[in-house]
């Protein structure tokens, strides 16, 4: 009888899948699902930011930019190009996670993940990579559009790539926190409209903050997007309104804090479990 019990236990143990393998396959599945979603609804995910960027380059770059003159030692269109690329990366990383995760909550298919053996840290990582993928795809499209209007030099490819990756991580995580707390669709459009867009526009995308009065420069230094835009701009043009080291410290710090917060919220079931 004891032997029978032992055999049964052994069989049970063999049937339990190796959790590491489960995590790897599960992570890939989340990322592939997010990528498929981005491609499936390309008319919503890729085309609008491309059109918006084109309009920015036509209006601010070509039409108005010519009258503004140089900024930071570069033509206006060259100066704003990194900011416009970064703006598209930020808004799309954020938008992908907030819409995908809240959509899953609203449609209840988030339960597929919640009942699975995948840990919270991995589910967050999967969604964040999904957000990064969209941010980088759209960033790539906007970069391609930029090259139609002007030529871009690269001061440091390492800074360009690291700044874009860190920024997309930070805003994908921010989008996830928004989605976790959101109870309806109004609440997922509130933050992008009333917080993200103003911070982006006031984050030095279209101007150097050196043009601002002292008090406004002080306030601008409290805007995290200023550091991301300037770090990215430094990667392209070699000029920045902020200390690039400080920008990295802020981006890495924000990514770590937001990731821990996301995992904790998901693990506790805030907004997802009763």
Partner 1 sequence: MQALTFEQLTKTYKNGVQALKGIDLAVEEGDFFALLGPNGAGKTTAIGIVTSLVNKTSGKVRVFGHDIDTELAVAKSCIGLVPQEINFNQFETVTTILLNQAGFYGIPRQLAAQRLEKYLTALQLWEKRNAVSRTLSGGMKRRLMIARALMHEPRLLILDEPTAGVDIEVRRTMWTFMRDINAAGTTIILTTHYLEEAENLCRHVAIIDKGRIIENDRMSRVLRKLQTEVFVFNLRNPISAPPVLPGYAVSMPDDHSLEIEVSKDQSLNDIFSRLSASGMEVLSMRNKTNRLEELFMRLVNQKEAAHG
Exactly one of 71, 97, 98, 104 binds partner 1 (CB under 8 A); which one? 104
Long-range Cβ contacts of 190-198 (<8 Å, 24+ apart): 191/98, 192/91, 192/94, 192/95, 192/98, 196/90, 196/91, 196/94, 196/171, 197/91
From its phi and psi, is residue 108 left (phi > 0), alpha (psi between -120 and 50) or beta? Answer: left
Is 44 near partner 1 (CB under 8 A)? no
Lay out the site mask for partner 1 across 115-154 (x = CB under 8 A, - = otherwise): xxxxx-----------------------------------
Is 181 near partner 1 (CB under 8 A)? no
| Part in contact with partner 1 (CB under 8 A); list of ranges 108-116, 166-174, 212-220, 222-230 | 108-116
Exactly one of 18, 43, 148, 213 binds partner 1 (CB under 8 A); which one? 18
Measured from the CB atom, the residue of 104 and 179 that comes closer to partner 1 is 104
Nearest distance, CB of residue 108 and partner 1, angstroms: 4
d(CA 75, CA 124): 40
Is 36 near partner 1 (CB under 8 A)? yes
Is 155 near partner 1 (CB under 8 A)? no
The residue ranges that bind partner 1 (CB under 8 A) are 5, 8-9, 12, 15-19, 21-26, 28-30, 32-33, 36, 40, 104, 107-109, 111-119, 269, 273-274
């Amino acid at each position: 009888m004891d032997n029978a019990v032992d055999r049964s236990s052994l069989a049970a143990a063999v049937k339990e899948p190796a959790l590491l393998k489960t995590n790897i396959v599960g992570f890939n599945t989340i990322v592939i699902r997010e990528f498929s979603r981005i491609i499936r609804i390309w008319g919503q995910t890729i085309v609008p930011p491309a059109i918006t960027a084109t309009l920015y380059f036509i209006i601010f770059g070509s039409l108005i930019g010519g009258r503004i003159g140089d900024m930071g030692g570069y033509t206006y269109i060259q100066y704003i190009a990194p900011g416009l690329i970064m703006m598209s990366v930020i808004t799309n990383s954020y938008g992908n996670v907030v819409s995908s995760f809240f959509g899953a909550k609203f449609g209840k298919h988030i339960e597929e993940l919640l009942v699975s053996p995948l840990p919270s840290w991995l589910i967050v990582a999967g969604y964040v990579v999904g957000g990064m993928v969209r941010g980088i795809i759209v960033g790539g499209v906007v970069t391609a559009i930029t090259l139609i209007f002007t030529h871009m030099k690269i001061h440091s490819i390492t800074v360009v790539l690291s700044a874009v990756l860190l920024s997309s991580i930070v805003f994908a995580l921010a989008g996830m926190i928004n989605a976790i707390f959101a109870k309806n669709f109004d609440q997922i459009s509130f933050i992008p409209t009333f917080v993200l867009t103003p911070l982006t526009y006031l984050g030095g995308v279209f101007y150097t903050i050196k043009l601002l009065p002292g008090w406004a420069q002080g306030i601008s230094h409290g805007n995290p997007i200023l550091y991301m835009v300037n770090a990215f701009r430094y990667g392209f043009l070699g000029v920045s309104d902020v200390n690039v080291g400080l920008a990295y410290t802020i981006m890495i710090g924000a990514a770590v804090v937001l990731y821990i917060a996301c995992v904790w919220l998901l693990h506790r079931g805030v907004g997802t479990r009763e």
